[in-house]
Amino acid sequence: MIEFFNVSVKSKNRLILREINLKIRKGEFVYLIGKTGAGKTTLLRLIYMDLIPTAGNVLVDKFSSSNIRKREIPYLRRKVGVIFQDFKLLPDRNVYENVAFSLRVIGKSRREVKSRVLSVLTQVGLNHKRYHKYHMLSGGEKQRVAIARALINEPFILLADEPTGNLDPEASKDILNLLEKINKSGTAVCMATHNYKLITWAPHRTLLMEDGFIKQEIDPDNLNQILEL
């Protein structure tokens, strides 16, 4: 479903990713860990093709980084949902509008938009707050809105770049619980995080990055070792 073949990324003559080979299968849950600057965000950007590799190839569903056209990128983005540490929501819109936005721009009918938005808001447990303004939401709720928005086109994978970075421990656990629920319903999840405690609490395949390289794949049964990293 997602495959990296000898992928390298160079920026200003410095290699920021080196020879990455990686496969993420349908319905998998994968953590990306490693020190700041290790290359986690860069790797995620390659998957939603916000970045094209300098060498090698990234396959995502039927799209290939080596020949994808600019006008195909929006179609790829419907298959790949993305959430971030800082939510990236529209501050002047309410919950409903934030989630509906991307369906409106692709010209879906009002009825279709409504049914889809209510369905994803129910999925993230926020339907009752659909007319609340952005600034009235807690951090955990904002992240739920972002997750709902990312799920609106029924992507096959959800990418999460440090999704609990701005949340307290309890809200972080809630978000991870929600990501696990989404994963159990069939959507793959790839999450970059510094929150190692959270990983040991909900173990999954874990890739340790260092200096632009996947240094080690850590067995889910053996995750306690990462608390010493």
Ligand X SMILES: Nc1ncnc2c1ncn2[C@@H]1O[C@H](COP(=O)(O)OP(=O)(O)OP(=O)(O)O)[C@@H](O)[C@H]1O
Phi, psi of 34 (to 5 degrees): 140, 160
Alpha helices in the chain (DSSP H): 40-47, 73-79, 95-105, 110-123, 139-151, 169-184, 196-201
Of residues 30-89, those binding ligand X (CB under 6 A) = 34, 36-42
Q: If binding means CB under 6 A, how many residues of this protein chain bind ligand X?
A: 10
CA distance 79 to 157: 7
Applying CB under 5 A, the span of 37-45, 68-76, 84-92, 200-208 interacting with Mg ion comes to 37-45
Applying CB under 5 A, the span of 34-42, 70-78, 106-114, 171-179 interacting with Mg ion comes to 34-42
Interaction of residue 215 with ligand X, rule CB under 6 A: no
Q: Which of 162, 147, 187 is CA-nearest to residue 25?
A: 187
Number of H helices and number of E strands within the chain? 7, 10
Tell me how far apart the terminal alpha carbons of the chain are, to the nearest angstrom. Answer: 30
Q: Which does 67 bind (CB under 5 to 8 A by kind): ligand X, Mg ion, none?
A: none
Interaction of residue 85 with Mg ion, rule CB under 5 A: no
- Minimum CB separation of residue 162 from ligand X in Å reads 6
Interaction of residue 41 with Mg ion, rule CB under 5 A: yes
Of residues 43 and 100, the one with the C-beta less far from ligand X: 43
Applying CB under 5 A, the span of 5-13, 24-32, 38-46, 54-62 interacting with Mg ion comes to 38-46
Q: With the C-alpha atoms ordered 125, 105, 158, 26, is the resulting torsion angle positive or negative?
A: positive
CA distance 191 to 19: 20
Of residues 58 and 121, the one with the C-beta less far from ligand X: 58
Of residues 6-35, those binding ligand X (CB under 6 A) = 11, 16, 34
Q: Which of 69, 67, 63, 51 is CA-nearest to residue 7?
A: 51
Q: Which does 169 bind (CB under 5 to 8 A by kind): ligand X, Mg ion, none?
A: none
- Judged by the rule CB under 5 A, the positions of this chain that interact with Mg ion are 40-41
Q: Tell me which residues touch ligand X (CB under 6 A).
A: 11, 16, 34, 36-42
